[in-house]
């Protein structure tokens, strides 16, 4: 079994000390940087945009996993590629022509991800799963860090894992929202491959140790 990955969400970092927090992740056992881009339209919040991602990418030494919570993401695919994104995830709920969007992401040499809101059934991916590198299951309603984990996520992970296996796909399952040491093991046991953690990592007293422990729990 391949090892389970930890992706700290930079949304919870100290923006006045961004370089310090990026270096902490670089030096830690974390695997990816998770970057939340919000437009105030698809979600009721605005996070940060291109200049901040550019600053992050300048210092980040690990995979940059960009989660777009924006309407009409097709407009910015090329821009996010140029900014150094390695994985670009769009919301199922924001894409009328999802197949086309995924091909456009791959044409820019990025891995293509699809995020599902808590209310969206995984069955909508039945006919597209083989084209998806990563499915991001939202375990909170997108828009804010620090919310509590929605328990229904466990059954969605199991259903998604079954779909991926049945279709012979190599899609990774990422969980985003409310991840802590309390739910990490149950999530990876249910089939999750990547755990995003924002507040749990950045609000802790010893961030590298928290990342290390979370990774150990996820892989236990
Ligand atoms: C929510 C974002 C998440 C968020 C996770 O809209 O997509 O990535 O940063 O934060 P925590 O881990 O605090 O729930
Ligand atoms: Zn996210």
Ligand 1 pocket check for 22: Cβ under 6 Å = no
The reply to whether ligand 1 has any atom less than 6 angstroms from the CB of 200 is yes
pLDDT value at position 1? 58
Give tens-digit pLDDT for 40-54.
Answer: 999 999 999 999 999
CA–centroid distance, 1 to ligand 2, in Å, is 25
Specify whether the CB–CB gap between 5 and 31 falls below 8 A. Answer: yes
Distance, in Å, from the CA atom of 63 to the CA atom of 86, rounded to the nearest integer, reads 6
CA dihedral angle for residue 195, residue 198, residue 201, residue 205, rounded to 10 degrees = -170
Distance CA 70, CA 67 (A): 9
> Is 99 part of any known ligand binding site?
no
What's the pLDDT score for residue 2? Answer: 80
- Kindly give the distance from the C-alpha atom of residue 58 to the centroid of ligand 1, in angstroms, as a whole number: 22
Tokens at 83, concatenated: 């900014």
198, HSE (Cβ side, Cα atoms, 13 Å): 23
Closest listed residue to residue 26, CA positions, set 13, 39, 41 = 13
- Measured distance CA(17)–CA(142) in Å, rounded: 24
pLDDT number for residue 105: 99
Per-residue pLDDT of the chain (220 residues; tens, 9 = 90+): 589 999 999 999 999 999 999 999 999 999 999 999 999 999 999 999 999 999 999 999 999 999 999 999 999 999 999 999 999 999 999 999 999 999 999 999 999 999 999 999 999 999 999 999 999 999 999 999 999 999 999 999 999 999 999 999 999 999 999 999 999 999 999 999 999 999 999 999 999 999 999 999 999 9
Contact by Cβ (8 Å): 15, 47: no
Give the global pTM: 0.98
Task: Write the pLDDT tens digit of every residue in 132-171.
Answer: 999 999 999 999 999 999 999 999 999 999 999 999 999 9
Answer yes or no: is 145 a known binding residue: yes
Answer yes or no: is the C-beta of 208 below 6 A from any ligand 1 atom: no
Interaxial angle between packed helices 207-218 and 18-27, expressed in degrees from 0 to 180 and rounded to the nearest 10: 40
* Helix ranges restricted to H, 48-205: 50-59, 77-82, 98-107, 153-167, 184-190, 199-202
Q: Which residues are catalytic?
A: 36, 176
Residue nearest to atom 12 of ligand 1 (CA): 198
DSSP run (H or E) holding 91? strand 87-91
Ligand closest to Cα of 134 equals 2
User: Residue 216 is inside which H or E element, if any?
Assistant: helix 207-218
Collapsing DSSP to helix, strand or coil, 206 comes out as coil
The domains found in the chain, sorted by start residue, are: 5-218 (3.20.20.70)
What is the Cα–Cα distance from 115 to 67, expressed in whole angstroms? Answer: 8
């Amino acid at each position: 079994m391949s090892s389970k990955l930890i992706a700290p969400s930079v949304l919870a970092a100290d923006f006045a000390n961004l370089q310090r927090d990026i270096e902490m992740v670089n030096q830690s056992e974390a695997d990816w940087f998770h970057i939340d881009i919000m437009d105030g339209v698809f979600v009721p919040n605005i996070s940060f945009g291109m200049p901040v991602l550019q600053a992050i990418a300048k210092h980040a030494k690990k995979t940059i996993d960009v989660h777009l919570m924006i309407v009409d993401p097709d407009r910015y695919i090329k821009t996010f590629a140029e900014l150094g994104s390695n994985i670009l995830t769009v919301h199922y709920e924001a894409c009328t022509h999802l197949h086309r969007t995924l091909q456009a992401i791959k044409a820019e040499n990025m891995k293509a991800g699809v995020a599902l809101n808590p209310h969206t059934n995984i069955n909508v991916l039945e006919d597209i799963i083989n084209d998806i590198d990563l499915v991001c299951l939202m375990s909170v309603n997108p828009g804010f860090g620090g919310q509590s984990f929605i328990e229904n996520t466990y059954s969605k992970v199991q259903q998604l894992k079954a779909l991926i296996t049945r279709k012979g796909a190599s899609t990774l399952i990422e969980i985003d929202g409310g991840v802590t040491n309390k739910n990490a093991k149950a999530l990876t046991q249910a089939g999750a491959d990547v755990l995003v953690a924002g507040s749990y990592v950045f609000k802790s007293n010893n961030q590298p140790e928290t990342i290390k422990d979370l990774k150990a729990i996820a892989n236990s």
